[in-house]
Structures are given as C-alpha cells and as structure tokens.
Amino acid sequence: MAFPPISILIICLTLLWLQHIIPPASASGNESDYLALLKFQESISSDPNKILSSWNASNHYCNWHGITCGHKHQRITELKLQGYDLRGIISPHVGNLSFLRNLNLDTNYFHGEIPAELGRLFRLQNLSLMDNALTGEIPINLKGCTQLRVISASLNQLNGTRLPNNMFSTLFNLQDLEIAGNQISGSIPTSISNSSSLQILDISDNYFVGKVPSLGYLKDLRRLNLAFNNLGSGSNNDLGFITSLENCSKLEALSLSSNNFGGNLPNSIANLTTQLSELYLGGKIPPIFGKWKYLASLDLSENNLSGAIPLQIFSLSSLSKLLDLFHNSLNGSLPIEVGNLKALGTLDISENHLSGEIPRTIGECKSMENLYLQGNLFNGTMPSSLASLKGLIHLDLSQNNLSGSIPIGLQNILVLEYLNVSFNMLDGEVPTQGVFRNASAISVAGNNKLCGGIPKLHLSPCPCPVKFKKQSKYRHLKFMVIIICVAVCVCLLLSSILAIYWRRKRNKTSSSTAQTIGQLRMVSYQNLHIATEGFSTVNLIGSGSFGLVYKGRLEPDNKFVAVKVLNLQKKGANKSFISECNALKNVRHRNLVKILTCCSSIDYKGQEFKALVFEYMSNGSLENWLHPSSESGDLPRTLDLDRRLNILCDVASALHYLHHECEQPIIHCDLKPSNILLDEDMIVHVSDFGLASLVSTLNGVSKKLTSTTGIKGTIGYAPPEYGIGSEISTLGDVYSFGILVLEMLTGRRPTEEMFKGGLNLHSYVKAAYTNNLWEIVDSILLPMQVQEKTKSAMEEISIEEPIHKHPNEEKAIHSLFGIGLACSVESSKERLNMIDVTRDLNRIRNAFRSHEISRV
C-alpha cells in the first residue's frame, strides 16, 4: 500500500510543474474564485458598456474590472460593478467567493432572485443590490453572513411575504438595512431588535402590515423610515412603539407618513428632542412643538388637519429643508409669521382651504426653493415680494382666486424653472423674459384676462399700456414734457419711414397678398389651391368626421399651415359660416389649435367650398405617436410616462377651458388621438373643437345638437348615450377623454378587434384594475423586469428600448387608470367633470415630479 518516498516526491514535483504551465485558473485553492467569476459572467446577458471586456483569460482575474483581491492570498474581496446597466441574473456561484467582503451591484438591471448561496459568504460586510429588478424574498440564509453591516436592496421588486424572522438573530453587526421601494409584506419581526447595532432602518414604500414592535434596544438608531406601508390597525395603541424610541438617543429622522396608524401620538414624542431633525408624520399631529431644536423637516401632509395652521410651526426656526402640509383641510389665512422661516427650502401648503391674501412677508423666506400654494382659495394679488426669493426654482400658485397681474420681477429670478399660475383670475401682461421665455416652463391657462407674453402662449396682445401714475403727475411734469416731445418726434419719424416703406413694397408685390397671415381676414380658394399644390394627396395629412386636412405653405411668408376642407351637406350659409368662424378664432388657449383664418368660396368646379386654416403642428398627431405605422415610415417613437402625463394634463386643460371657461360651453364631440396635435415642443394643441356646432349650424340643424343630427363622434371614443340619440354634452367629452387615458396607458385602441363583442376598453381595464394591472400596461411604460416577460418578438424590441424606473411611476400609473375609469363609466351622471379631472391630474403630475417620496 505504501508508496516509496521517491514516487511521492515525483508526484509533488509534477503537481508543482503543472501549477506553472497551466494558465491561471486550474491551479490551487483560489481556482474556485476564478470559476465562480466565469459563471457570474456567463449569467450576464447584456453588457452595453462593455465593462466585462477586461474579463478575459489574458488578464489575471485580480485585474478584471470591478474586482479587488487580497494582497497576500490573491482571493477576491470585492466585486463592485455598480451603475453599468448590466442585465441578467446574479449567479449563485458568487456564493463560492468565500473571501468576499463587499458585493455591490447597485443600479443595474439584474432580475431573478437574490441567490440563497450568498449566505455562505461569512466574511461579507456590504451587500448592495439597490435599484435593480430583483424579485422574491430576502433569503433567510443571509443569517450566515454574520459580519454583514449593510444590506441595501431598495428599489427592486422583492415581494416576499415577510422578512425572515430569525435572520436577525445572528446579524449583530448590521448597521444599515435599506429595503425601501419593494413589495415586501408581512409584519416587522420582533427579532429585529437582535440586530442591536442598527443605525438606519428604512423599510418605506412596501406592503408591511401589523404592529410595530418595540425598538428600544436599537440604541444606535439614527434614521427610522416606516412611511408608505400599511402598518398599524387603526386602533389606539398603534403608536406605542414611539415611547420605546426614547431609548434611541441618536435618532435624527423619523417618518411614519402614509400608514394606517390609529390613535394619537403619545406625548413621549416630545422627548425625542436630542437629535431629531426630520419628522414625517403624515396623518398625525405632534402635540408639542418648539422643543425640537434641530428639526429641519416637518411633514404633516395628507392629514386630516383642520382649522388654522398652528402658529407654533412658524417658531420652528430650525426648519430648513421641508415644511409639508399638503392635502389637509386647513382654513384661515397664511399668517405673516411665515416670514420667520428664513432657512426653509420647501414650503408645501397646497390642496387646503386657505384663504385671504398671500402675505408680503413670504419674501423674507430667503432660502426658499420650492413654493407650492396651489389648490387653495387665496385671493388678492401675487405679492411682488415673491421676486426677492432669488433661489426659487418651482413656484405653483395654480387653482386659487388670485387677481391682478403677474409681478414682473419674477422674470429676474434666474434659477426659476417652473411657474404655474393657471386657473386664477389674473389679468394684465405676461412678462417675456427669464422663465417666461420658455413656454413649457410656465402655465398661465385658465386666466381669462392675461395678455402679451411670448407668441407661443397664444395670448392676445395687450392694449397699449402707457399710463402715468397720478401722484407723480406734477413732480415729473418736466420729465413728461421731455418724454412726450421725444415720443412725438420718434413717432413722426417712424411713421414717415413706414409710409415710404409701404409705398415701395406695394409697388413691388401684388396688392392681394400684401398682408401677413396673422392679419389675414380671409383667404381665397385660389390661395389655398396654390398652398396645397391643388389639394394634392401628397399633402393630405388627415381626415376627420368633418372633412379632409391638407398641409400647405401659404403666401406671403410661406408659413406652413393646415387646411381643413369641410364637407357640407347643405349649401349656402355663407354669413353664418364667417360669423361662426370668427367666434372660433376668439377661442384661444395654449392647448388649442389656433385658427388663423377661413375661406368661403366657390371651387374651380363651381362647387361650394368652405375651409378653416390652422397653425400647422410639426410633430403630427398623438395617433402617430401612440401607434406609429411602419408603412408611412414613421420612426419608432416612444412616449415615456412623464410625456404622457404632460399630454393628458394639456388635453384636460384644453377641455376644462372649453367646458368651463368659455362664455358658452363648447362641446368638442370628437376627441380622439388624431385630433390631438403636437407642436415642436411636444405641447398639445387640440383640434376640431367647435366644429360639431359649426357644421350642424351650416347644415341647418338647430342649435340643440343631438347625435341623431349626424354628429356622432368616432366609434370607440363616443359615449354610449350618443348611440341612442342623446343630446351631446360635456360629459360625452369626458367619456372620450377617459377612453383616451386608457388608450395611452394600455397602448390599445378602443377599436381593436378584441373589443368587438361585449368587451370594451373600459371593462377590459376594469377587470384588471385591482389585481393584474401590470399585465395590461403598455409595455413601453413597464419597468424592465416585467417587460422581459412579455412575449417573443416584443422581447427583442424591449431590450433596446429605454427603460424607465421611477419610484413614483407605479403610483402615478395606478392613479391615472383610476381617472380613466372614472371618466369612462357608462352612466354619464357618474362621470367626473373636467374641473375635478384637471385638479387630480395636476396633483398626480406634481406628485410624480416633485414629491419624491420622503426617503429618510
């Protein structure tokens, strides 16, 4: 049995020799590291940044990108590949990297489960998998990683039914547990206290339920975020755990908002004074203010607070980040004490019942960056002191009762990016500089008497404003005389120059086309014939229920226009056409197509010809964007959620205006994607409004329009009551709008083959609404993990598509579906009206844009 010593020597020598000639991998104990990395690499299906190109045999694995080895033993201690858009699963073989201390795969697109094999990494300290598309549970095996300090898996799709209960009993070193933005349910295990080193516990934005256990053993706890869950039972002692936090003397941030906690906050919360700087208590009113010397953020939003704003709040001069009272029932005025909040960055008191004037002292909040006052009953003027908030980035005053003019000083705030004053009673001139230069940064809709501004806003020009103030009449008399003299001279000079110019010009051009489009009263059939190259089919850009639409270039300045040729049953009616057309020209709104002029004439065949001339919209219709047709060479286009949300807000705003802001409500009657046009800035301009009334007037039908008079709207978008001859109504438009919302979210036309029988788009969405909403969402709007599940051919496309991941996206989509459904219910009486719809949409948009969940 025994080998002679010499043969043992030979075997040893052979092994040594082998170790030298065989390439790096298959040599000694560290071979398993190499093999595990190869397996890890194999399970990555896409590496758009070619980050793994250095992972090749000609290069020792310790030099591979993202790998760090220990100096002595050449074993892998770190695997860090964050932010490279890698796709694939996390290979279970990573569990063989037994010297690993730091695993960081943040911000990629890894899907599948967190491999249980990671539990073998008993040296692991940092496990960071944030912002991927991982599913399943947090594996209980992690309890084997007794050195773990950080578990960071926020922003994934983890959906376990609980946190593993006895996982924490071994994780004594855990300092940081962050699993926010997942779908984990179950209750918080009491054993979490076993991880007595915890400093950060963030389980926000999950589906946790039940009672919060005592956390008094977590003496090092600095940040506790329980927001956006279903914790609590609505009963009185839900908040008992707050008392246990008295032990946590290092607590800096506490967030409880958006849960199901009942009862009042225990008085002991006043004892959490030592370090507390952020307090998010949506739903709860803390009993004592003023003791919190370090409080920088206070969030009492979406509460049921009523009465006046508690004055004590304004004595919290430490507030520097956020004061959020959004969506309560506060009434009374905004006190002048608001000026004490000199360090405050964000003040949100939107969606309350606050009234009276906005105090001038608001101008003393010099650090203000975001000011949200929308959805209240503020009246009086916009204080000019707003202009002294030099750091202001977002200002929303929409949906109040403000009058007077927009302070011109706002155009001097260099950093202002967003200004919304829509739906007030403002008048006077809209400035043109600063933020007012950018039509998509400001919203002025729903103020009847605003004028001026940049041309894109389509407001009427202001009447000549020059008037001198009374009190300065005598003091500046001298000045005035000089100014008047100068002005008269300039006027004389100008008018003589103009006279000469005009005379010359008239000699050159034929007299009939000397005006510019803006001033055109009427154009002739001949003009339009030339403009559209004889109404050539090449220029045909659309056809609707009321006629064909051509693109054309109209003399004299060769601007592109859209010409809608009406098909009329009845002849004559020339006068009423022109008066109706003029009436339509005065219906102006940022989100309506502007009618430039009209034409009533006889064509070359002697037939009657009536047409409307609109602005031409370079980005085509929403129809082309939602359903690009490959034949017509449309590029594949993608509208992300933000764009879609903007488009819906714009359309809603236009309908709101037509229904509620015009002298007589205008019913659109044929709202659908092909009537929703987009200009070069992707701003919506709804077309074909008012044509139902125009055409039926011309056809000799009485003003009282019913669907039996030939105005039926378009199948799929027209409400069911039109089918049985009901009078057309604003609620019919609301139905069409609801269908539009559902179409934009599902990507399905209401006219698809599948909706032929009893099923329609509304019932299809309704059936999926509560349980499997994600199965019907347009795949472009889906996060990547779900996208890959969609079948076959789609899969290849969706890999190429940009992927949108936004923590608020899911909530926004859900709320939008809710609006779509509420607008498209069969019974017209139960539908929302456009006032509610615009308000809700704006709220969703604001939440989506700027109310990033308050992550502690």
Ligand X SMILES: *[C@@H]1O[C@H](CO)[C@@H](O)[C@H](O)[C@H]1NC(C)=O
Binders of ligand X among residues 296 to 325 (CB under 6 A) are 304, 306-307
- The structure tokens listed for 796 are 């290849």
Place of tokens 């290092």: 250
Q: Which positions are catalytic?
A: 670
With b meaning 16 or more CB within 10 Å and e meaning fewer, what string describes 138-165?
Answer: bbbbbbbbeebbbbbbbbbbbebeebbe
User: Which one of 51-59, 319-327, 382-390, 445-453 is the stretch in contact with ligand X (CB under 6 A)?
Assistant: 51-59
Residue closer to ligand X by CB (options 203, 739) is 203
Give dist(CA 613, CA 564) in Å, integer: 6
User: Would you count residue 267 as binding ligand X (CB under 6 A)?
Assistant: yes
Which of residues 260, 361, 367, 379 is near ligand X by CB under 6 A? Answer: 379
How many chain residues touch ligand X (CB under 6 A)? 53
SS3 label, residue 434:
helix
Closest approach, Cβ 852 to ligand X, in A, equals: 22
Q: Which amino acid is at 240?
A: G
Residue closer to ligand X by CB (options 216, 628) is 216
Q: Distances from the Cα of 428 to the Cαs of 407, 412, 441, 459, 638, in angstroms?
A: 10, 18, 19, 11, 39
Residue closer to ligand X by CB (options 54, 315) is 54
**H or E segment at 762?**
helix 761-769
Residue closer to ligand X by CB (options 35, 492) is 35
User: Which one of 34-42, 409-417, 728-736, 820-828 is the stretch in contact with ligand X (CB under 6 A)?
Assistant: 34-42
Three-state DSSP string of 553-604: EECCCCEEEEEEEECCCCCCCHHHHHHHHHHHHCCCCCCECCEEEEEEEECC
Closest approach, Cβ 126 to ligand X, in A, equals: 4
Contact (CB, 8 A) for 380 and 401: no
Taking each helix axis from N to C terminus, what angle separates 809-823 and 761-769, rounded to the nearest 10 degrees? 130
Which of residues 10, 11, 35, 488 is near ligand X by CB under 6 A? Answer: 35
Place of tokens 């809709």: 445
Q: Which amino acid is at 207?
A: Y
DSSP state of 195: -
Q: Which amino acid is at 112?
A: G
Residue closer to ligand X by CB (options 128, 532) is 128
Query: Is 564 known as a binding-site position?
Result: yes
User: Would you count residue 539 as binding ligand X (CB under 6 A)?
Assistant: no
User: Would you count residue 273 as binding ligand X (CB under 6 A)?
Assistant: no
Residue closer to ligand X by CB (options 101, 845) is 101
Give dist(CA 653, CA 591) in Å, integer: 7
Q: Which amino acid is at 64?
A: W
Ramachandran sector of residue 155 (left: φ over 0; alpha: ψ -120 to 50; beta: rest): left
Residue closer to ligand X by CB (options 332, 572) is 332
SS3 label, residue 301:
coil
User: Which one of 22-30, 508-516, 650-658, 802-810 is the stretch in contact with ligand X (CB under 6 A)?
Assistant: 22-30
Binders of ligand X among residues 148 to 207 (CB under 6 A) are 150, 159, 161, 169, 190-191, 193-194
Residues in CB range of 611: below 8 A, 6 or more apart: 528, 547, 563, 564, 565, 566, 598, 599
Residue closer to ligand X by CB (options 245, 694) is 245
Binders of ligand X among residues 94 to 123 (CB under 6 A) are 96, 101-102
Residue closer to ligand X by CB (options 106, 743) is 106
CB atoms within 10 A of CB 317: 13
SS3 content of the chain, % helix, strand, coil (to 5): 35, 15, 50
Q: Which of 296, 282, 239, 241 is nearest to 263 (CA)?
A: 239
Which of residues 28, 312, 440, 567 is near ligand X by CB under 6 A? Answer: 28
DSSP state of 254: E
User: Which one of 239-247, 602-610, 677-685, 768-776 is the stretch in contact with ligand X (CB under 6 A)?
Assistant: 239-247
Closest approach, Cβ 70 to ligand X, in A, equals: 10
User: Which one of 254-262, 373-381, 516-524, 563-571 is the stretch in contact with ligand X (CB under 6 A)?
Assistant: 373-381
Closest approach, Cβ 232 to ligand X, in A, equals: 13
Which of residues 380, 544, 720, 818 is near ligand X by CB under 6 A? Answer: 380
Q: Give the x/- contact pattern for ligand X in 213-232, rule: CB under 6 A.
A: -x-x----------------
- The structure tokens listed for 486 are 């100068």
Q: Give the x/- contact pattern for ligand X in 390-409, rule: CB under 6 A.
A: -----------x--------
Contact (CB, 8 A) for 670 and 545: yes
Give dist(CA 359, CA 787) in Å, integer: 50
Which of residues 56, 526, 574, 772 is near ligand X by CB under 6 A? Answer: 56
Chain contacts with ligand X (rule: CB under 6 A): 24-25, 27-28, 30, 32, 34-36, 39, 53-54, 56, 58-59, 73-74, 93, 96, 101-102, 125-126, 135-136, 150, 159, 161, 169, 190-191, 193-194, 214, 216, 243-244, 247, 267-268, 270-271, 304, 306-307, 331-332, 355-356, 377, 379-380, 401
Annotated binding site: 564
Binding residues for ATP: 564
